[in-house]
Structure 1
Amino acid sequence: MRTTSGSNTTWTWTLPAHFPPGKFLRMKVDGGTLRQGGSALAWDDHGYYEVALDAGSLTLSP
């Protein structure tokens, strides 16, 4: 589900019970800051962000 609050966009999800823990999704964005659990995510050496699926949410701020 996607929600917007001011200039922030947050995506939330629920993983199925059988989904293995500790999995990540690589993402690139054209600008802004990605946050999970209140902390900004760091780029990896290839310019990707690694988003933890276990967190259940992701926020993009300008």
Structure 2
Amino acid sequence: MPMTVWRKSSKSATSDNTSCVEVAALPYNIGLRDSTDPQGPKIAIPSAAFRDLLDTVKRGELDMP
């Protein structure tokens, strides 16, 4: 079984460089987890839904007022 490789954006760095979401390419989904708790809960969403989420974020539709 291949090892899952988790990645986080270099743009998500904070003062402690740990507080962000990590993503992993899975066979049929995209995995998401909290970088501060790598052994904790994880979710998997379909790749198309993840692309939609990224597009929504890039358009600023989820920005706080």
TM-score over 0.5 for the pair = no
Q: Which has the higher contact order (CA 8 A, sep 6+)?
A: 1
Greater C-alpha radius of gyration? 2
TM-score calculated relative to the size of structure 1: 0.28
Higher strand share goes to which structure? 1
